[in-house]
Amino acid sequence: MPSNFSKIFVSLLVFFVSSFFQVGKAQTIHFEGREFSLSHVKASVVPLNGEEVLRIERDLNSLPFDPNRMGSTVDEATFVKVNGLDLDNTVIEVEVLSRLLPNAPTLARGFIGIAFRIHPTQSAFESIYLRPTNGRADDQFRRNHTLQYFSYPDYKFDKLRATTKGEYETYADIGLDEWIRMKIVVKDRSATLYLNDQLAPAFLVKELLGSTTFGSIGLWVDIGTEGFFKNLKISSLED
């Protein structure tokens, strides 16, 4: 008969092997008939005002935030990514609602938006996101930074703000705790954002700066945000 030591050794071996594979396996969640992989976020399907929506917040244990190193710890791969997509020219539509978490830092703005052309390794992607607290702020400088484009990893908000003339940020009349319909049309090296079914675009990104031309779609949040999403629609411009 095997000794107690042998039994303990085998049990420990099984535990560590099992743990290794669990760590290496990406977490997933299903919503509206799609499977999403979690990247540095916590996600759950929850009821909100009588309907089921997808709730997301940044996982600070997985990816800590340092206010003294903002440029290197924000505008990161903090999203749920749709599995099985590899699109270039795309139309992305989704409704988003943003609240501030109780422990949100003073710099929180309700950051919420869409990532697109996500590389399979998540090493690069493009994004357009909202800062809902800025939309009706009593400060014109903050209002001018309500909508934001960035390209991960080389062109985050801080670099774009320092090196460009404001063409990657703009104003929109939006606020916290209200559903906002986002529609992004991605075509070649440009992206156009429409808000709340308006005919005129709210934001024109004439020159995408990223290295990816194909990839998946992600629902994105950042520090201090309790983000809710519903009615995601994705289609190719060639459809």
Q: Which amino acid makes up residue 45?
A: V
Report d(CA 205, CA 192) in Å as an integer: 6
Tell me if 190 is assigned to some domain.
yes
Q: Which amino acid makes up residue 218?
A: G
Number of domains in the chain: 1
Q: What is the mean pLDDT of the chain?
A: 91
Tell me if 20 is assigned to some domain.
no
Q: What is the CATH number of the domain that holds 224?
A: 2.60.120.560
Q: What local confidence, expressed as pLDDT, does residue 11 receive?
A: 43
Instruction: State residue 6 phi and psi, 5-degree precision.
Output: -65, -40
Tell me if 18 is assigned to some domain.
no
Question: Prior bond to 153 cis, omega within 30?
Answer: yes
pLDDT at residue 60 above 50?
yes
Tell me if 80 is assigned to some domain.
yes
Tell me if 11 is assigned to some domain.
no
Tell me if 62 is assigned to some domain.
yes
Strands 112-118 and 216-221: antiparallel
Query: Containing domain of residue 121, as a range?
Result: 28-236
Q: Which residues is 113 bridged to in the sheet?
A: 129, 220
**How do residues 7-24 score in pLDDT, each as one tens digit?**
434 343 333 333 333 334
Share of the chain above pLDDT 90, in %: 86
